[in-house]
Structure 1
């Protein structure tokens, strides 16, 4: 197993501190103490607390973006790919609840911070890639024509709302208990009108 880098150890410690104390209450000294890094090392890698917040956010969206991209680009049917995006998203949140809470709560702060432009560039690249994948999937004829901005809202929007409720403790049980009906709903929302689900015995509208 590869040894954790100093930069990764600082981000891991920052996430722990943000989870334990809240982002606003966490100081640079708290992160330094939790990570075991010297103040010089911390500033060398990040510069200041705001850049740590931004770097942690960007690393989080990179990691769950890999899950979603992998699901969308897998060699399977269109229905399976759409379902895999929902299942992959909920699986990532279930495995990384602290990181998911941080991502939900910190976007505005990162957008307004020193890494805001980098975040915009990453988001634009992600949207461009997903648009290309979606256009390729539409050539199979089993998807309806949908404006590009609506695609993520239809496929992962409901899953995000369930994830937020679960992370806030308003839903009991395992997050993945909700995955199958959400995956079914996502597919029904984007499939062509004359295409049926692979198993019509489930979740009839």
Structure 2
């Protein structure tokens, strides 16, 4: 029952954050949607920032699960990069609410004091991505670019598309994921 209550709170928080926006959502809004008491919410989460962090961790985990080939040490740089982009697009089509939330939090995290842990999570991902890109560049597989530029070239088009994408059948979503994966590779390959 405890995990069910926690899940209800997270689901209600996600709905409220998407409907009202993070800043306009209160713990009372989440309480009303979840049916949980305020005490129950605070039993699981220290506040809105902790709820956002938990939702973001789920989102990142979902993307990572879809991108497992990117972590395979035997994967070529092309396979790893394409897997990451393909994973993002597939995950976003399967979980559009989580994607929209992650996208909102990415824009809020740098300035919101609630998001110290979220900023750390994003920085950790950025550091890992930059290190992997630097290894690829050292191998001569990708162009030597500042990671912020490489990241924008690789993921920017997919993010821009996904912000307005409509739900699609799995086969069409998979084809679109493949298109963005190929575009990302073409944008940075050496």
- TM-score, normalised to structure 1, is 0.74
Describe the shift of the 1:109–1:149 C-alpha distance in structure 2 as closer, same or farther (beyond 3 A): closer
Q: 1:78–1:142: 8 Å Cα contact kept in structure 2?
A: yes
Describe the shift of the 1:184–1:51 C-alpha distance in structure 2 as closer, same or farther (beyond 3 A): closer
Displacement after TM superposition at 1:56 (Å)? 4.6
Q: Classify the secondary structure of the residue corresponding to 2:147.
A: coil
Larger Rg: 1
1:199 aligns with none
Tell me how large the CA RMSD over aligned residues is.
Answer: 2.9
Describe the shift of the 1:155–1:67 C-alpha distance in structure 2 as closer, same or farther (beyond 3 A): farther
Alignment deviations for residues 162-183 of structure 1 (CA, whole Å, 9 cap, x no partner): 11120xx4x8764433222222
2:60 aligns with 62
Displacement after TM superposition at 1:97 (Å)? 0.4
Answer yes or no: is 1:140 the counterpart of 2:139. yes
C-alpha distance in structure 2 between counterparts of 1:96 and 1:88, whole Å: 12
Gaps of 5+ in 2: none
Gaps of 5+ in 1: 193-205
Describe the shift of the 1:115–1:58 C-alpha distance in structure 2 as closer, same or farther (beyond 3 A): farther
Describe the shift of the 1:127–1:27 C-alpha distance in structure 2 as closer, same or farther (beyond 3 A): closer
Count the aligned residue pairs.
185
2:183 aligns with 185
Alignment deviations for residues 121-140 of structure 1 (CA, whole Å, 9 cap, x no partner): 22222222112222222343
Flag the structure with higher helix content.
2
C-alpha distance in structure 1 between counterparts of 2:11 and 2:180, whole Å: 31
C-alpha distance in structure 1 between counterparts of 2:142 and 2:57, whole Å: 32
